[in-house]
A and B are shown apart, each in its own frame.
Chain A
Amino acid sequence: MGIVIAVISGKGGVGKTTTTANLGVGIAQNGKKCVVVDFDIGQRNLDMHLGLENRVVYDMVHVMDDGISLKQALIKSKITPNLSFLAASQTKDKSVLESEKIKKMVEELKQDFDFVILDAPAGIESGYEHTIEFADRAIVVVNPEVSSIRDADRAIGILDSKSQKVKEGQEVEKYLIINRIDPKMVQSGEMLSSEDILDILNIPLIGKIPEDKGIIEASNQGKPIILSQDAAAAQAYTRIARRICDEKVDFVDVENDAKGFMSKIKGIFK
Chain B
Amino acid sequence: MKTKQYSVKVFEVVLEDEERFISFFDKNYLFFQNHLISIIGQKNDRIERYLQEKALRYVFNVDIPKKSTPTQTQMTPKIPEEKKQPKEKPIQKNLQVLDKLIRSGQELNIDGDLLLLNRVNSGGSIIINGTLIITQVVDGSIRCNGNFMMLQASNKANIVFHDVEIDNSFLQDKLNRVELINDEIVITPVLKEKSWV
Residues of A bordering B, CB below 8 Å: 146, 149-151, 153-154, 156-158, 160, 199-200, 202
One digit per residue, 1 when the CB lies within 8 angstroms of any chain A CB and 0 when it does not, for chain B 97-134 equals 00001011110000000000011011110000000000
CB of A97 to closest CB in B, whole Å: 22
Question: Which of B104, B106, B118 has the most A CB atoms < 10 Å from its CB?
Answer: B104
Note all chain A residues with C-beta closer than 8 A to B106.
157
Distance between Cα atoms of A151 and B121 in the complex (Å): 11
Note all chain B residues with C-beta closer than 8 A to A154.
103-105, 123
| 12 more A-B residue pairs beyond the given contacts A150-B123, A154-B104, with a C-beta to C-beta distance below 8 A | A146-B122, A149-B122, A151-B104, A153-B104, A153-B123, A157-B103, A157-B104, A157-B105, A158-B105, A200-B121, A200-B122, A202-B119
Note all chain B residues with C-beta closer than 8 A to A156.
103
Task: Establish whether residues A153 and B119, one from each chain, have CB atoms under 8 Å apart when the complex forms.
Answer: no
Q: How would you classify the secondary structure of chain A's contact residues: helix, strand, loop or mixed?
A: helix
Distance between Cα atoms of A202 and B118 in the complex (Å): 10
Residue of B nearest to A147 (CB): B122
Chain B interface residue bracket vs A: 10 to 19
Distance between Cα atoms of A156 and B101 in the complex (Å): 11
CB of A199 to closest CB in B, whole Å: 7
Note all chain A residues with C-beta closer than 8 A to B139.
200
Question: Which of B103, B119, B139 has the most A CB atoms < 10 Å from its CB?
Answer: B103
CB of B141 to closest CB in A, whole Å: 13
Residue of B nearest to A161 (CB): B106
Note all chain A residues with C-beta closer than 8 A to B101.
202
Task: Establish whether residues A150 and B122, one from each chain, have CB atoms under 8 Å apart when the complex forms.
Answer: yes
Note all chain B residues with C-beta closer than 8 A to A146.
122
Distance between Cα atoms of A160 and B124 in the complex (Å): 15
Residue of A nearest to B105 (CB): A154
Distance between Cα atoms of A149 and B124 in the complex (Å): 13
Distance between Cα atoms of A183 and B141 in the complex (Å): 33
CB of A13 to closest CB in B, whole Å: 18
Residue of B nearest to A10 (CB): B104
Residue of B nearest to A157 (CB): B103
Closest 4 CB pairs of A and B: A157-B103, A153-B104, A154-B104, A154-B105
Distance between Cα atoms of A145 and B186 in the complex (Å): 35
CB of B52 to closest CB in A, whole Å: 38
Note all chain A residues with C-beta closer than 8 A to B118.
202
Distance between Cα atoms of A153 and B123 in the complex (Å): 9
Distance between Cα atoms of A153 and B121 in the complex (Å): 8
Distance between Cα atoms of A200 and B102 in the complex (Å): 10
Distance between Cα atoms of A158 and B103 in the complex (Å): 9
Interface residues of B in 167-190 (CB under 8 A from A): none
Interface residues of B in 127-153 (CB under 8 A from A): 139
CB of B182 to closest CB in A, whole Å: 38
Distance between Cα atoms of A160 and B102 in the complex (Å): 12
Note all chain A residues with C-beta closer than 8 A to B121.
150, 153, 200
Distance between Cα atoms of A160 and B101 in the complex (Å): 11
CB of B98 to closest CB in A, whole Å: 14
Distance between Cα atoms of A100 and B80 in the complex (Å): 60
Question: Which of A153, A154, A160, A199 has the most B CB atoms < 10 Å from its CB?
Answer: A153
Distance between Cα atoms of A200 and B118 in the complex (Å): 10
Task: Establish whether residues B104 and A150, one from each chain, have CB atoms under 8 Å apart when the complex forms.
Answer: yes
Distance between Cα atoms of A199 and B121 in the complex (Å): 10
Give 18 CB contacts A-B under 8 Å.
A149-B122, A150-B104, A150-B121, A150-B122, A150-B123, A153-B103, A153-B104, A153-B105, A153-B122, A153-B124, A154-B104, A157-B104, A157-B106, A158-B105, A199-B119, A200-B119, A202-B118, A202-B119
Residue of B nearest to A156 (CB): B103
Note all chain B residues with C-beta closer than 8 A to A151.
104
Distance between Cα atoms of A160 and B106 in the complex (Å): 11
Note all chain A residues with C-beta closer than 8 A to B119.
199-200, 202
One digit per residue, 1 when the CB lies within 8 angstroms of any chain A CB and 0 when it does not, for chain B 72-106 equals 00000000000000000000000000000101111
Note all chain A residues with C-beta closer than 8 A to B122.
146, 149-150, 153, 200
